[in-house]
Each structure stands twice: as C-alpha cells, then as structure tokens.
Amino acid sequence: MLLEIPNVLGPRDLERVRGLLAGVRFVDGRASAGAAARRVKHNEEAAADDPRLRTLNELVMGNLVRHPWYQHAVLPHRLASPFYARYTPGMTYGDHVDDPIMGPAQGRYRTDVSTTIFLSGPDDYEGGELVVQTAFGPRAIKLPAGHAVLYPSSSRHHVAPVTRGERVVAVTWAQSMVRDPARRELLWELGRARDRLLARAPEAEETKQVDRSYVNLLRMWAEL
Ligand code: NI
C-alpha cells in the first residue's frame, strides 16, 4: 500500500526543522548504504554525530508517530531514527529495495514500511520524484513540504535525478507488529471504519461487531 499522509509537520515545526538542518553538516550518503544500494546511491546525508539530530529526530519522529494515520497504517513495533537526505542537481538514488534488516547489533529491526517526509516544497526543485513500483505500474511522488508517503520497504523504488534546486527529505523505517502488507492494508481499512463508527454511533450493534473484529484480528496477527 502506498499512503500519503498530509501535514505530518505543521508550518512552525517545519520551519524549526529547516532551521536546524541549515546548520547541519552533510556527508556522502554512500556511507550508510548496503552493498547493492551503494552503487546507485548518490546523495548527501546529515552527519550522524551532529548534535542537532536529537532535536530534529524528536520533532520529526514525534509528529510522525503521533499521527493517527501512521499508527493505523504501520502498526509500528520498532522505529528507526530518520536519515536526512539532500539532493542537489545531478544527484539521484537509482533503483533499489531498502535493506531488510537495519539498526545496531543490539537493536536490530526488520524494515516493513518505509516513510519519506518531504522537507522541501515541490517548487524548491525540479526532478527528484520518488518513484515506487507498484502492482499497477510506477507511481511518481512529490508532495508538499511537511507531507509524508509510506510504501512497503520491499518495493522497488528510486529517486529521479534532481535537475534544479535542492530536495531535502527525512527517511525512516518501521518494523510493523503485522508483517504481511496485505493484512496491514485490511487493518488500515477496517480500523478507519471502526473509528468512524465509534465516533458516529458508539452504541450501535454494528459498531461493536466491527470493533471486536478489528481488535481480535489485530490480536490474531500481531507479533511482538
Ligand atoms: Ni530506499
């Protein structure tokens, strides 16, 4: 499932994030790539030892994780600290799938859902679309600043070359409590219907049936 989440970062937090990133040192992104991705990755990333990253991560991940759509769609079990990637003209990230296992030796996690949070606006650069291969063909994604897109970490994707300006994004990964993307998609649909029914008709018998079905499906499928 490909899901766009609007306004993960509001204007004030976006401004703070941009302000912090303006002072951060960027290094060659190949350092953090797996063997296959390294050959096609050509971008820059915020240096991992920069002290501003802690505040940045709190702002970016705090807003993302609090977003109800993110919770519903990802059902996160473990979350990665984000990478902040910058693409200037000529930079690109060729076709790849994300590494299946990430994190330090004591804190490894499986990557189920990838998230890109756009920190530049669509007018700040040309090219630079995130292109995800789906069952229905390629989808090119370029969202307003502060918006996010979720896609399966197993999907083939690339970032088209930037031809003008600067594209800055935050990218993060989650291990979901529900490993199977098809099951996650069912829970996303059913969970949204459940929320609407609970708001509109909390005492109705069909609300209780949908609520029980959702809760018990999640219990059946969740792995912790
Ligand atoms: Ni990727």
Place of tokens 């949070």: 117
Tokens describing residue 56: 């940045």
Q: Assign 171 a pLDDT band (cuts: 50, 70, 90).
A: very high
What CATH code is assigned to 3-176? 2.60.120.620
Q: Is the pTM of this model over 0.85?
A: yes
- Which pLDDT belongs to residue 32? 78
Amino acid identity at 65: V
Q: Assign 52 a pLDDT band (cuts: 50, 70, 90).
A: very high
CA of 14 to the centre of ligand 1 (A): 23
For 102-134, write each residue's pLDDT tens digit. Answer: 998 999 999 999 999 999 999 999 999 999 999
Distance CA 71, CA 65 (A): 7
Distance CA 96, CA 60 (A): 25
- Which pLDDT belongs to residue 114? 98
CA of 178 to the centre of ligand 1 (A): 21
Q: Is the pLDDT of residue 215 over 90?
A: yes
DSSP state of 69: H
* DSSP helix/strand/coil, 219: helix
H-helix segments, 42-133: 52-66, 68-74
Q: How many CB atoms lie within 10 A of CB 85?
A: 23
Print burial letters for 44-82: b (CB count within 10 Å at least 16), e (below 16).
bbbeeebebbeebeebbbebbeebebbebbbbbbbbbbb
Place of tokens 């995130």: 130
- Which pLDDT belongs to residue 45? 95
State phi, psi for 7 to the nearest 5 degrees.
Answer: 50, 50
CA of 106 to the centre of ligand 1 (A): 23
Q: Assign 37 a pLDDT band (cuts: 50, 70, 90).
A: confident
Domain-by-domain residue ranges, the chain? Answer: 3-176, 181-221
CA of 116 to the centre of ligand 1 (A): 9
Contact 173, 111 (CB under 8 A): yes
CA of 45 to the centre of ligand 1 (A): 13
CA of 97 to the centre of ligand 1 (A): 6
CA of 94 to the centre of ligand 1 (A): 9
CA of 207 to the centre of ligand 1 (A): 39
CA of 56 to the centre of ligand 1 (A): 20
Q: Is the pLDDT of residue 94 over 90?
A: yes
CA of 67 to the centre of ligand 1 (A): 22
Specify the pairing of strand 130-134 against strand 157-159: antiparallel
State phi, psi for 34 to the nearest 5 degrees.
Answer: -70, 175
For 7-23, write each residue's pLDDT tens digit. Answer: 999 999 999 999 999 99
Q: Assign 30 a pLDDT band (cuts: 50, 70, 90).
A: confident
* DSSP helix/strand/coil, 204: coil
CA of 214 to the centre of ligand 1 (A): 31
CA of 215 to the centre of ligand 1 (A): 32
